[in-house]
Amino acid sequence: MYDVARLAGVSQTTVSFVVNNVASAAISQETRDRVWAAIHALGWRPNAMARGLRTRHSQTLGLISDEVATSPYAVRMILGAQEKAWAGSQMLLVVNTSGQRDIEQTALQFMLERRVEGLLYATMYHHEVVPPPEIGLVPAVLLNCFVADRSLPAIVPDEQQGGYTATEALIRRGHRRIAFVNETIPMPALFGRLEGYRQALADYGLPFDPTLVRRCHSNAQDTFAVVRELLELPDRPTAIFCFNDKMAMGAYDAIKRAGLRIPQDVAVIGFDNLELIAAQLYPPLTTVALPHYEMGQRAVELLQTLSAGEQLPPIQHTIPCPLVERASI
Amino acid sequence: MYDVARLAGVSQTTVSFVVNNVASAAISQETRDRVWAAIHALGWRPNAMARGLRTRHSQTLGLISDEVATSPYAVRMILGAQEKAWAGSQMLLVVNTSGQRDIEQTALQFMLERRVEGLLYATMYHHEVVPPPEIGLVPAVLLNCFVADRSLPAIVPDEQQGGYTATEALIRRGHRRIAFVNETIPMPALFGRLEGYRQALADYGLPFDPTLVRRCHSNAQDTFAVVRELLELPDRPTAIFCFNDKMAMGAYDAIKRAGLRIPQDVAVIGFDNLELIAAQLYPPLTTVALPHYEMGQRAVELLQTLSAGEQLPPIQHTIPCPLVERASI
DNA sequence: CTGAAAGCGCTAACAT
DNA sequence: ATGTTAGCGCTTTCAG
């Protein structure tokens, strides 16, 4: 910066003023031009570490995740977070712990040393977590997870509304016997979506038939078997709501194998909106999207207001899961 | 740090020495203990910006990508890069440009201001790029892409070997009529895999039959149509090598629809090893993996030796694509 | 074995 | 309209 000042024939302070467009001291246009010319001539570029040291602002947000950043599943949360951070001219420091506690600890230390102005703690699946206590040293928001006592702000998908939406879409197409193939592992998604399913049936005056609700491991192969059973029922369902898109793949196989057509004979709806699967299946799969991108955005948004010093109660933010219509219902 | 020093009854220098384990000046164990006790009592943590300012080392690597970090496709490159960076106690600054030139420019400026010690320029698909010239200001390596004149080190997958491997696997199972459904967009993968296919046929003394090589858009639906044609051939192929896993989904549909079994009647092999698809298909898809994780690792590895000051010619590193056996051949 | 002091590159009062 | 000056929190010679 001194070199630039010398070349432009001004003081180093002046250079700082023109670079940062300081309003308090109006600098003549002519001087500005000289300074910028010198900057370009020298190829000078501010040093963010020096600036941060002085201003006590790192312009950095940290994101600690189990697998989010490195598995195909919820990766769009990162995009949402990144773009929001970017819009506030902050950078996102991302670290993947693979769920290992010691890595998580070190990652946290690293980020704290870098003086991140806020922390995102994200998980691949929506579930309860207990983050390391040091997370409270800076503003923090949970992404796709929550703590038992809700003492930390959290952004999660609205599972119940998602289940409701899927079921309602089917009902509106005239289906009355709607099967639901649910997950086996107890998690918010399992309970929420089931609740949404029941609620939708109730709202539309349809009976809840327990024989139509099955549980199986969330993979195509196990779902294949379950759906085959469902199709052999005397009064077989005309629509199947699958807990997720992977399971829908198995449902497709079972339905086609039974010589039935989708959606004419049996409609299928999924959950997750994994493009890779949903768009490639034939017919393309109608599904409910997990609003990952928006969740990432909202989380950073919240983090930014928090780190701006605003005092807010630990809001538990629930983001709706929209219907993505393709051709399977 | 001054506070810590005061509490421990030593100078600030001493604190620095014990924190950094400086060998040159041996400090009594007793003093060390006092210092650490003070550190913990105060909850002090070094300031990476101050340290970086002084040492002129940011301990940071930058990764600029079009979509890698935020699409499910090549996301494991990030994991590989991250873990390698981590192993060298460096952090990875990731930014996604969505392919927009202006974002790319700003991202680059940001990273340069933060004094990244090296830059990774990554793309989702293996193709030629022309990165912004400023990339040359710090050590840089291209990841999954390359420049026309090969003036920058690059890490790319070995497409030809991958094509060879897929074809050879089929040949070894006794197949003689092997179809290849290739991509339409001209790119290294298209040419490389085709070349590998031809080479394998030649090496095993099998004729190259142009009617068995088709091209179509890389999606399931178009592949469905192409494979149906292939199956209607008078002397139909007994095995199909699909350019990628998405296309294999379409091939599966066509084969099952024709009442044929996989792999007994027709074998299928894919490319990419997208778990989401390959593991869920029935039967599980044998495929060739794009070595994304390893590519990420190697790129950072190379970057680290480069930023350690070593002078190397711009190596074009080609990483082999391994066969992933499941049950479709 | 430990401390004093200089300085990394910048910002922002405070002067002029 | 521009310059002087004092740090921000650390590392690292050089002394003792």
CATH number at residue B145: 3.40.50.2300
Asked if residue B184 and residue B79 are part of one domain, the reply reads: no
Whether residue B204 is predicted with pLDDT greater than 80 in this model: the reply is: yes
Question: Looking at this protein, which amino acid is placed at residue A129?
Answer: V
Task: Check whether residue A285 and residue A187 sit in a common domain.
Answer: yes
CA distance linking residue A315 with residue A313, whole number of Å = 6
The pLDDT of residue A71 is above 80: no
In-domain check, residue A325? no
Per-residue pLDDT of B228-247, as tens digits, reads 999 999 999 999 999 999 99
Could you tell me the pLDDT band of residue A270, with boundaries at 50, 70 and 90? very high
Confidence (pLDDT) at B295: 98
Which among B110, B219, B279 is the nearest to A91, CB-wise?
B110
Q: Do A215 and A266 lie in a common domain?
A: yes
Contact A82 B69 (CB under 8 A): yes
Residue A9 is part of a domain; what is its CATH number?
1.10.260.40
More confident position, B190 or B27: B190
Write out the two tokens for A2. 């001194």
Chain B residues inside the 8 Å CB shell of A96: 78-79, 82-83
Q: How many domains does chain B have?
A: 3
Nearest chain A Cα to B56, which residue?
A: A49
Return the number of CB contacts < 8 Å for A and B.
147
pLDDT in tens, B117-158: 999 999 999 999 999 999 999 999 999 999 999 999 999 999
Q: Is the CB of B10 under 7 A from strand C?
A: yes
Chain A neighbors of B71, CB-CB under 8 A: 75
Average pLDDT on A217-241 reads 96
The protein footprint on chain D, as nucleotides within 7 A of a CB, is: 1-5, 7-15
Element (H or E) spanning A103, and its range? helix A101-113
Q: Do B131 and B148 contact (CB within 8 A), yes or no?
A: no
> How many angstroms separate the Cα of A50 from the Cα of each of A234, B2, B58, B182, B239?
74, 20, 11, 53, 62
Provide the pLDDT for residue B189.
97
- The pLDDT assigned to B219 comes to 94
> Is B112 close to A221, i.e. CB distance below 8 A?
no
3-state secondary structure A146-197: ECCCCCCCEEEECHHHHHHHHHHHHHHCCCCCEEEEECCCCCHHHHHHHHHH
Q: Could you check: is the Cβ of residue B48 within 7 Å of any atom of nucleic acid strand D?
A: no
Mean pLDDT (whole number) for B212-217: 97
pLDDT over 90 percentage in chain A = 82
A107 lies in a domain? yes
Determine how many CB atoms are found less than 10 A away from the CB of residue B13.
11
Question: Does residue B23 register a pLDDT over 80?
Answer: no
According to the model, what pLDDT value does residue B67 have? 87
- Say yes or no: A284 and A172 in one domain: yes
Mean pLDDT of chain A: 94
| pLDDT at site A300 | 97
Do A270 and A286 meet the contact criterion of CB atoms below 8 Å apart? yes
Q: Which residue is nearest to nucleotide D12 (CA to C1')?
A: B13
CA of A288 and C1' of D13: distance in angstroms? 64
Q: Most A CBs within 10 Å: which of B91, B245, B260, as the mutation test of the A interface? A: B91
Mutation for testing the B interface, residue in A40, A57, A89, A91 having most B CBs under 10 Å: A91
Q: Is residue A253 part of a domain?
A: yes
Chain B environment of A58 (Cβ under 8 Å)? 49
Between CA B18 and CA B26 the distance in angstroms is 9
Percentage of residues of chain B with pLDDT beyond 90: 85
- Residue B92 inside a domain? The answer is yes
Instruction: Supply the pLDDT for residue A124.
Output: 94
- Mutation target to probe the B interface, by most B beta carbons within 10 A, among A70, A83, A94, A97 is A70
d(CA A35, CA A30): 9
d(CA A125, CA B100): 30
- Are residues A277 and A165 located together in one domain of the fold? yes
Q: For A121-171, how does the pLDDT look when each residue is reduced to its tens digit (9 = 90+)?
A: 999 999 999 999 999 999 999 999 999 999 999 999 999 999 999 999 999
Q: How far is A151 from chain B (nearest CA, A)?
A: 22
DSSP-assigned letters across all residues of B33-67: HHHHHHHHHHT----HHHHHHHHT---EEEEEESS
Claim to verify: residue B179 and residue B32 sit in the same structural domain = no
Straight-line distance from CA A56 to C1' D2, in Å? 26
What pLDDT band is residue B281 in, cutting at 50, 70 and 90?
very high
Q: What is the DSSP letter of B209?
A: -
CA distance B106 to chain A (A): 10
Residue B326 lies in a domain: no
**B264 CB less than 7 Å from any atom of strand D:** no
Does at least one atom of strand C sit less than 7 Å from the CB of A48?
no
Average pLDDT over residues B34-44: 91
Which residues, at least 6 apart from A133, have a Cβ–Cβ distance to it below 8 Å?
Answer: none
Q: Are residues B35 and B105 in the same domain?
A: no
Mutate to test the interface with B, among A55, A73, A114, A275 (most CBs of B within 10 A): A114
In a domain, residue A70? The reply is yes
Contact yes or no for B47 and A69 at CB 8 A? no
Q: Which residues of A215-226 are buried (b: 16+ CB within 10 A; e: fewer)?
A: bbebebbbbbeb
If asked whether residues A284 and A309 sit together in one domain, one would say: no
B271 and B296 part of one domain? no
> What digits encode the pLDDT tens for the residues A86-114?
999 999 999 999 999 999 999 999 999 99
pLDDT of B57-113, one tens digit each? Answer: 999 999 999 987 767 788 899 999 999 999 999 999 999 999 999 999 999 999 999
- Closest by Cβ to B69, choosing from A50, A78, A224: A78
Q: Which residue of B has its CA nearest to A225?
A: B282
* Whether A13 CB is under 7 Å from strand C: yes
Judged against a pLDDT cut of 80, whether residue A296 lies above it is answered with: yes
pLDDT of residue B74: 86
Asked whether the beta carbons of residue B71 and residue A70 sit closer than 8 angstroms, the reply is no
Helices first, then strands: H and E counts in chain A: 12, 12
Rg, chain A, Cα only: 26
CA distance A202 to chain B (A): 34
Give the domain extent around B225. Answer: 159-289
Give the Cα-Cα-Cα angle A182, A187, A188 (nearest 5 degrees).
95
Kindly give, in sequence order, each residue whose CB lies less than 8 Å from that of residue A81, ignoring residues fewer than 6 positions away.
Answer: A61, A63, A92, A120, A143, A296, A297, A299, A300
Q: Which pLDDT belongs to residue B278?
A: 96
Of B95, B113, B256, nearest to A45 by CB-CB distance is B113
- Which of B224, B43, B68, B246 lies closest to B142, judged by CA? B68
Q: Is the pLDDT of residue B280 over 80?
A: yes
Confidence of residue A22 (pLDDT cuts 50, 70, 90): confident
Asked, for residue B8, whether it belongs to a domain, the answer is: yes
Q: Which of A47, A96, A113 sits opposite B115 (nearest CB)?
A: A47
**Which residue, A317, A283, A275, A312, is CA-closest to A298?**
A317
Q: Which of A93, A221, A249 sits opposite B91 (nearest CB)?
A: A93
Q: Which residue has the higher pLDDT, A152 or B32?
A: A152
Residues A100 and A140 both lie in one domain: yes
Co-location of A32 and A81 in the same domain? no
Please give the Cα distance from A192 to A165 (Å, whole number): 12
Please name the residue whose C-alpha is nearest to the C1' of nucleotide D1: A27
Backbone φ/ψ region at B56: left (φ over 0), alpha (ψ -120 to 50), beta: left
Kindly report the bases of strand C lying within 7 A of a protein C-beta atom.
1-5, 7-15
Structure tokens at B65: 């990508």
Residue nearest to nucleotide D6 (CA to C1'): A54
- Could you check: is the Cβ of residue A71 within 7 Å of any atom of nucleic acid strand C? no
User: Is the minimum distance from the CB of A167 to strand D below 7 Å?
Assistant: no
Q: Does residue A70 register a pLDDT over 90? A: no
Task: Say whether the CB atom of A54 is under 7 angstroms from strand C.
Answer: yes
For residue B89, say whether its CB is under 7 Å from any atom of strand C. no
Mean pLDDT of the A10-24 span:
85
- Burial code (b: 16+ CB inside 10 Å, e: under 16) for B90-129 equals bbbbbbbbeeeeebbeebbebbbbbbbbbbbbbbbbbbeb
Give yes or no: residues B139 and B224 share one domain: no
Asked if the structure places residue B224 within a domain, the reply is yes
CA distance B135 to chain A (A): 14
